[in-house]
Structure 1
């Protein structure tokens, strides 16, 4: 954790940012509940999982000690498993999903904080809205009072050189700023969920407020 914090601080220094504006999300989907608990005991406060069946044991063990984020592609029929358990959803990417989240949140009388997933790179293998779909999607969300859009999320293409991800991260930040300038949402969105173990320093330099770190932070099961 300390090495990750140091690298974030250095990236912030290079870009004139405050390290306090960067949150670390530990991706624990590949490790056991015991390993996740150990990470929490060593200072991890935010946990990212992508399937309820795989995360149920961790949630029951650590609920109240850690903040849970759903970071995987979310099927509409799985919304009932996620809403009410996960504090954030990082993968809101289509209207039927938004409608189902709204319906479930109404039933539970709560509001769900969501990141809108954007396919900035345009890769067919990635989920997310095309950037040009964002204004219309934001307009649709205005009528859903149980969904609180907090920011945008994207995944950069896998690359051997982290610097290659910079244009993707920069463009997501620009889209956030453009949407805010146009008043697209009921209230401005602040967050950018972008950057993983191989490229998080570049993401921080480009404005990431959440970085999703697995191997560089949690390591392998046998290392914990």
Structure 2
């Protein structure tokens, strides 16, 4: 019941935030970040009506998805993805949030072609240019989007970012806003196979600010499942 209460509370907060800034709450999806959490907790969340889950590690995710069922939920890959794991990401995940290099995009396209799938992806931007985080530089993203638009088995759906952590979530706002501006710029290019429907940004501590700046996918782990062991 605790997980259901947590989900209900966060969904209510999302709805309130969206309505306050004039957005449709139905345009915002809550992704339960379930890395390092057992399949049983995800099953509890599914039973509570939740359908979107984010995983960071391929091997761990494969085991849990095999146990729970590929069609039991909508699975999001939100961790760093190596090219040699692309075939597994394509097999198991509905949306890959963390494409940051042309080499990786090519490999995902290749693996998706093998199974006749058009893989939905997001481009990850390292918006604060942090050495400890993955992601393309902001100045590289437009060219990367152009390149991805040429791949028949990729569908670019938007951008993902993870700004620096701040005790005051308001300090993350300029980063969220910068990513939204880049997203709008790519959308205006009218590239084939590029829809730019989504901004994946905002976590447990700052998702309200992210929603105010246009987030459509918010990634919340601790506030749903509790702190990782």
Normalising by the smaller structure, the TM-score range is over 0.9
Unaligned runs of 5+ in 2: 1-6
* Aligned mates of 1:34, 1:134 — CA distance in 2: 38
Unaligned runs of 5+ in 1: none
Describe how 1:60-209 pairs up with structure 2 within 5 A: 60-62=66-68, 63-209=70-216
Describe how 1:14-53 pairs up with structure 2 within 5 A: 14-53=20-59
DSSP 3-state at the match of 1:84: helix
* Aligned mates of 1:46, 1:2 — CA distance in 2: 14
Write out per-residue CA displacement over residues 81-136 of structure 1, whole angstroms, 9 at most, x where no aligned residue. 21121111000000110111011111111110001001111111111111111121
1:213 aligned onto 2:220: yes
How much does 1:150 deviate? 0.4
* Aligned mates of 2:28, 2:47 — CA distance in 1: 20
CA contact (8 A) 1:31 1:220 kept: no
Partner in structure 1 of residue 60 of structure 2: 54
Please tell me the root mean square deviation across aligned C-alpha atoms, in Å.
Answer: 1.4
Aligned length in residues? 222
* Aligned mates of 2:204, 2:221 — CA distance in 1: 6
The change in CA–CA distance for 1:129 and 1:184 in structure 2 (over 3 A counts) is: farther
* Aligned mates of 1:72, 1:187 — CA distance in 2: 22
CA contact (8 A) 2:54 2:77 kept: yes
Write out per-residue CA displacement over residues 136-159 of structure 1, whole angstroms, 9 at most, x where no aligned residue. 111211221101000100001011
CA contact (8 A) 1:200 1:211 kept: yes
How much does 1:50 deviate? 1.1
1:8 aligned onto 2:14: yes
Give the TM-score, by structure 2 length. Answer: 0.93
How much does 1:182 deviate? 2.6
The change in CA–CA distance for 1:188 and 1:55 in structure 2 (over 3 A counts) is: closer
* Aligned mates of 1:148, 1:191 — CA distance in 2: 12
Write out per-residue CA displacement over residues 153-211 of structure 1, whole angstroms, 9 at most, x where no aligned residue. 00010111111111111111111111112324544311000000010011011110000
